[in-house]
Structure formats: C-alpha cells, structure tokens
Amino acid sequence: MVDSGEIGVIWNQHGTIRPQPDTPATLQPMSADAPKSAFELAMQRLRQKDKEANVDERPLTDAQKAAIAEVRQVFTAKTAEREILHRAALRKAATREEGELLNENRSPASPDTQAPESLRCGPIHEPA
C-alpha cells in the first residue's frame, strides 16, 4: 500500500482509494424524522431568513381568516361556474371540431379563474 500524502486515505495495489483504518468514519446517522419535501425545505429556509431579519411570526387574525375564506369561496364559485358553462358549450357543439376548438380556447389561467390582483400583490395586512 502507498500513502497518497493526503490525510485519511491510502492507495492499495489496485489503484483504488480506501480510508485508513485509524481514520474515523464521517457518516452521520440518519435522523428519526422523515425526509422533508421541497416545500418543507423552502419554508424552513424562509423561516430562518425571517429569524435572521428579526421578523416575528404572527398567526392570522380572525378578520384575515374571514377574508381568505371569502376569497376562496368566490374563487371556487367562479371556477365551478366556468366549468358548468364550458360543459354546456361542449354539449351544444354540433361537430367534434367545434368541441376541440372549445377545449383549445379554454385556458386554465383565464382571468375568471385567476386569483384577484389584490391577493397576488403580497401578504395580507392587518386593517389599521
């Protein structure tokens, strides 16, 4: 065996590296927690950034929860209405081509199915 001059590894006669016997392994035991999703990792990073910037995490107020519930209800109703109208138009289509044209013109991100601009601008602020 030949010492490579690097700490913790030696070369054997076949030209492969293996750890030296007196060098402790650097493997970490797996934690008991389940693996985190990309969303959970992103949220963890955002919480860490908030902590570093001294931003306090506050729960939503009842007024904010009510506003969110109202927007969700309106959004769900508009989405359902669009779906009903689309299906009715498909039933009225005389030919297969008309039905395909209706499906092509149907955009999943049409203005009626997008969140209102006021919600896409940023976080909900408490009323003054």
Q: Is residue 93 part of a domain?
A: yes
Q: Is residue 86 part of a domain?
A: yes
Q: Is residue 81 part of a domain?
A: yes
Residue 72: predicted pLDDT: 96
CA distances from 21 to 7, 9, 18, 24, 25 (A): 12, 9, 9, 8, 9
Q: Is residue 1 part of a domain?
A: no
Number of domains in the chain: 1
Residue 4: predicted pLDDT: 45
Query: Residue 97's domain spans which residues?
Result: 77-107
Q: Is residue 39 part of a domain?
A: no
pTM exceeds 0.75 = no
Indicate the DSSP class of residue 122: S
pLDDT in tens, 10-42: 556 666 666 666 555 566 666 667 888 999 999
| Token output for 35 | 């693996």
pLDDT in tens, 100-121: 888 888 766 555 555 555 555 4
Q: Is residue 99 part of a domain?
A: yes
Q: Is residue 87 part of a domain?
A: yes
Q: Is residue 98 part of a domain?
A: yes
